[in-house]
Structure 1
Amino acid sequence: MVSRPPTFCPDCGTRLESFTFENRERKRCPACERIAWHNPVPCAGVAVVDRSGTESAVLCVERGVPPGVGEWTIPGGHMEIGEEPPEAAARELEEETGISVDPADLEVLSASTMPPREGKHVVTVHYVADLADAEGEPVAGSDATAARFWTPAAFDASGETFRPVHEQRFREAAALPE
């Protein structure tokens, strides 16, 4: 399995050839006849919601590294080997914002795919947590330039932009009932 379209066999290094298998174009090694599966990368993120105001606010980060530098996202990232999705979401949240949550306190918000970027496909499990169940103060992590709570109205008035898919998750989290 590879995260970007393969060119060479990951086992023996032979240039791959295209063929049709299960009604899809695949890549296969002509030397060892193995299929080089091109699968999406699993990611996880968490929307922390502050319900203390008249309008719910959601913790977001402004990306400081590619892809999407300057765009806002729900904190999240790649899952590590041996990590459960809620653990990955909680770890990424703390790395990107300084806010910590117990993975057991996370509830599934949704799952979505990002548009492919340079052949890389990503599937993200999005979680939601209440700020009352979190600890810490928002601070931008190493791959972010800002971490802050946004209400939908404040974001709409700001002229800022979201990465694809993240705006929908932001609005869904903000609209959740208490």
Structure 2
Amino acid sequence: MMEFPNYCGECGAELESKHIEGRERAYCGHCSQPVYRNAKPCGGVLVIDDEQVLLVKRTNPPAVGSWSLPAGFLEVDEPPELAAARELREETGVSVSPDDLELFETNLIDHGDGTHVLVIIYRTTRSAVSGDVQAGSDAGDAQFWHIEELLEAGESIELGHESIMRQAIAET
């Protein structure tokens, strides 16, 4: 069951639970409106090199210590492909033109704590990126991996991403 906030972010009134649009939602009687809990949008990039994919080791929640695609939250005025290219540069040190990104997949992730993110995933090839791979300030490591070698080494992949990575490699 999803947890609701206790108070309205607009007026501060205590919220109640009310059946709206086919589901239980937090509702502010003072504002006479539901309080929606929407997924936060993120942009990410899978850089494929033959059967390898560029991954970062997460140092920030969620999934600290696991390997994931370079990704992060969109800024309020930022299209997803620009956010994906920015996050790739910040987390791995390599750059790509947004024109070289192909929309590949979306992935809705439930972190189990009431927060949800929608990752808009782009794909590109290693030949389309420039720069040397190096972990950014919010990544413990960044490198190309064969998924099987990663798993054989006892490493983990962020929940919900392994099948998408495998599909991206297979279709490249």
Report TM bin, short chain: over 0.9
2: distance between equivalents of 1:97 and 1:117?
27
Residue 121 of structure 1 is matched in structure 2 by 116
2: distance between equivalents of 1:176 and 1:151?
15
Coordinate RMSD, CA, aligned: 1.3
**Alpha-carbon offset, residue 146 of structure 1:** 0.3
Residue 154 of structure 1 is matched in structure 2 by 149
Q: Give TM-score, length-normalised by structure 1.
A: 0.90
Contact 2:62–2:111 (CA under 8 A) maintained in structure 1: no
2: distance between equivalents of 1:58 and 1:98?
15
**Alpha-carbon offset, residue 113 of structure 1:** 0.8
> Any idea what the Cα deviations from partners look like across 1:151-173, whole Å, max 9, x if unmatched?
13322321111011121222122
Q: Find the partner of 1:70 among 51, 65, 76.
A: 65
Residue 23 of structure 1 is matched in structure 2 by 22
Residue 12 of structure 1 is matched in structure 2 by 11
Stretches of 4+ aligned residues off by more than 4 angstroms: none
> Any idea what the Cα deviations from partners look like across 1:49-101, whole Å, max 9, x if unmatched?
113xxxx2110000112221110001101111111111111111111001110
Q: Give TM-score, length-normalised by structure 2.
A: 0.93
The 5 A counterparts of 1:23-42 are 23-42=22-41
Residue 169 of structure 1 is matched in structure 2 by 164
The 5 A counterparts of 1:85-124 are 85-124=80-119
2: distance between equivalents of 1:135 and 1:82?
25
Residue 134 of structure 1 is matched in structure 2 by 129
Identity of aligned residues (%): 41
Q: Is there any run of 5+ residues in structure 2 with no aligned partner, and where?
A: none
Q: Is there any run of 5+ residues in structure 1 with no aligned partner, and where?
A: none
Contact 2:43–2:74 (CA under 8 A) maintained in structure 1: yes
2: distance between equivalents of 1:60 and 1:5?
34
Q: Are residues 1:45 and 2:53 paired?
A: no
**Alpha-carbon offset, residue 104 of structure 1:** 1.2
**Alpha-carbon offset, residue 142 of structure 1:** 1.2
